[in-house]
Structure 1
């Protein structure tokens, strides 16, 4: 499997399917009096990224961002189901803008980089191109995995598993199908049996009519699809408070412990450092890849959450890998980004502070601005704590190498 690493948004086709429509872009469109304008996503003011391999010999963190072209009726259904808003794409008068949604993904590999690199190249394309006609065949493949999946009834895909449902998918079903599609594409890859990755994906869909860019919109629909221990945080303009949009899928987490014990019994082992491992090997009970562990309950089924982002209530979204979140609290992460001149600088500040405190793991930060960017009210509540931690870190081995 050839992997191209030079572009943040790959144009690679789906493995084993031949050519497919290539509608995703590295720019976003917005309405103008004369038609539509374009803004490149690579701009430091649109999506900010900072990453480092820490002291590790290999980089296993990857990311991707792109503008997808999705069925506007599906987007309308999702807005109505999640937010009780009847968004009408016909009022936009521009099909390309009506179909547009921003996709941002962060992928933290473990045991190797094959799966996280595949996600970087392909997940946004799979997300755009999966369709409900695939679901019965996908469900049959899932059942063939056996073990835990003998009891699996389809989750968000359940209405379509028998092929007789005419309803359109919503974004939750699309995300679930895309995540399972990753594992299906990797099923014959020997490396994907030995390694995997955790993943957090956000999809932003502007509900304003006419439609401005997502960072200047009055209403934006946020969908988060997540497996593992990467994190998505919202920062409120009111006091800069952090609101997590993900939960860590570790074997000792309450929801995961209940899910696994109900179907698989107990295979939780705690090592001499007090860290819990499922089957004695995995820190995460939901992930992409790690195919040999799938029959034992390690599922790619994402936890999907939605939220309506109202203008001026939210300043930005931060996505981080566990190399960051294992060192910094949620509040520290969002406070470090406040008052930065642009998202790239904000991401760099978070990464630099984690490195200063001695971070050794691969580390990735993505900052996505919202309409409340630059309008956070109230004091920086973690400033004194960060200053104390910085003083305590002086002289550590990691600092000496910087």
Structure 2
């Protein structure tokens, strides 16, 4: 690959990859107190639940990360204002609380664990540290390296940063820039990144309360999701217990992806003998990190961004899961399994253990994030009978197989 006229951009990207301005992320959340703030570690099982299983695989290729980031309150305010939502950073009480953003990331690796491991270790840091000045070089590098689909690509969600220099970032642009920068670093530095990859979903939670509160007690909660692939984000609606699915699987037949891939000018969706379809006859997910050999065919790490400002008391918890779980359970089953748990860690374990009871073959990872409506789920457990029936059927099958 020739660096040609873009050599200065390559140098800029390389220098930026591992030298952020200043490390600000940490492993605790602060809340307001009478004389300052208090802090609670995110490692507490009552603050966030994280649990994984290898299933029947030899290796664990899933990864996850939980951190608290510090972002510019003015950037958050500017993004909200664009969406016609008013928020005064001064109302949070301190600059720290105004810029505090809880970060939750879940990554589903394939072909190896290196790409998901890189995202676990670095994506949150990139989200904090990326600067708009690298957008132009990143776009140029992407077009030159990948070609194909990207020859006509103008930067997508980053195009404004090239047109309007020195105007500052919006949160959706920050996520996009960090995702694409992570993909650049993976393809340049991670072994076997041409054939190894990962899908992923990142959730950022930021309090708009006055004063600013931790995400688990915030009534007015700003939520931004960055999503690539087949990992999934789900909300539990407190009054009804029903699932609100936030993300869509990035398969070539999906609504969002079909429109994007139509730019290729050809139908490259191929069905196998089982009726399952793949892009180019090989690719299941058309958005993801790594998988360099498929990038020219339209696979991208540019995330789909979902934004919501919600009343935290209207929702009991947010769940992030890998496809080892969603391939075995419906979205409503995942939500119902967590509804009676005493803490989010027990909720995550309950979900993963049920998948193991069903004979999970794939890696399974779950993050359960409690919100202000935690412990007050209404409605009925709509999938309990179905879950028990499925569990019994698996048990009977195992018994029959043991007798054969």
> Does TM-score exceed 0.5, indicating one fold?
yes
- C-alpha displacement at 1:91, in angstroms? 3.0
Greater alpha carbon shift after TM alignment, 96-105 vs 228-237: 96-105
Cα gap change, 1:59 to 1:235, in 2 (>3 Å): same
Name the counterpart of 1:293: 294
Query: Residues 397, 169 of structure 1: CA spacing in aligned structure 2 closer, same or farther, 3 A cutoff?
Result: farther
Counterpart of 1:388 in structure 2 is 389
State whether structure 2 residue 192 is matched by structure 1 residue 182: no
CA separation of 1:331/1:132 partners in 2, compared to 1, >3 Å: closer, same or farther?
same
For 1:45 and 1:222, the matched residues in 2 are separated by: 21
1:68 paired residue number: 69
Deviation at 1:211, TM superposition (A): 1.3
Which secondary structure state, in structure 1, belongs to the residue aligned with residue 310 of structure 2? strand
Task: Give unpaired runs (5+ residues) of structure 1.
Answer: 1-12
Question: What residue in structure 1 maps to residue 90 of structure 2?
Answer: 90
Question: In the superposition, relative to structure 1, how do residues 80 and 397 fare at CA in structure 2: closer, same or farther (>3 Å)?
Answer: farther
Over the aligned positions, Cα root-mean-square deviation in angstroms equals: 2.0
Corresponding position: 1:114 with 2:118: no
Where in structure 2 are there 5+ consecutive unaligned residues?
A: 1-13
Query: Higher helix proportion, which one?
Result: 2
Aligned to 1:135: 135
CA distance in 1, matches of 2:217, 2:401: 42
Shift of 1:171: 1.1
Report the count of equivalent residues. Answer: 387
SS of 1:193 mapped into structure 2: coil
Q: Larger deviation: 27-36 or 92-101?
A: 92-101
Asked if 2 retains the 8 angstrom alpha-carbon contact of 1:47 and 1:367, the reply is yes
Matches within 5 A, 1:232-251: 232-251=233-252
Partner residue, 1:7? none
Partner of 2:198 in structure 1?
197
- Contact kept in structure 2, 1:14 and 1:20, CA below 8 Å: no
| Equivalent residue, structure 2, for 1:259 | 260
Moved more, 136-145 or 219-228: 136-145
- Do the aligned residues in 1 keep the contact of 2:20 with 2:130 (CA within 8 Å)? no
Q: 1:384 to 1:262 in 2, by over 3 A?
A: same
Structure 2 residue aligned with 1:5: none
Cα deviations by residue, 1:312-368 (Å, 9 ceiling, x for unpaired): 210000000000000000000000000210000001111111111111100001000
Structure 1 residue 78 displacement after superposition: 2.1
Q: Which residue of 2 aligns with 1:378?
A: 379
The CA distance in 2 between the partners of 1:85 and 1:182, in whole Å, is 30
- 2:184 aligned counterpart, secondary structure: helix
| Higher mean displacement: 88-97 or 112-121 | 88-97
Alpha-carbon separation, structure 2, partners of 1:174 and 1:391: 47
| Counterpart Cα distance in 1 of 2:187 and 2:314 | 43
Question: What do residues 229-275 of structure 1 show as CA deviations (whole Å, max 9, x unaligned)?
Answer: 00000000121110111000012223312321332512222222322
Is 333-342 or 134-143 further displaced after alignment?
134-143
Greater shift after overlay, 326-335 or 86-95?
A: 86-95
Deviates more, 1:145-154 or 1:214-223: 145-154
Give the secondary-structure state (helix, strand or coil) at the position aligned to 1:191. Answer: coil
State the shift of 1:16 in Å: 5.0
Q: Which residue of 2 aligns with 1:171?
A: 171
Match of 1:41 in 2: 42
Aligned equivalents of 1:75, 1:383: Cα separation in 2: 41
Summarize the alignment of residues 356-371 of structure 1 with structure 2, pairs less than 5 Å apart. 356-371=357-372
Note the C-alpha offset of 1:191. Answer: 1.3
Change (3 A) 1:348 1:17: closer
Contact kept? 1:236, 1:376, Cα under 8 Å: yes
Q: Could you report, residue by residue, the CA deviation over 1:151-175 in whole angstroms, capped at 9, with x for unpaired residues? A: 112222111124x433221111011
**Aligned ranges 1:282-361 → 2 under 5 Å:** 282-361=283-362
Once the 2 structures are TM-superposed, how far is the Cα of residue 287 of structure 1 from its aligned partner? 0.4
Match of 1:24 in 2: 25
CA deviation vs aligned residue, 1:154-207 (integer Å, no higher than 9, x gap): 222111124x43322111101110110011112223411111100000000000
Contact 1:270 1:277 (8 Å CA) reproduced: yes
Q: Which moved more, 1:307-316 or 1:164-173?
A: 164-173
Structure 1 residue matching 2:193: 3-state secondary structure: helix
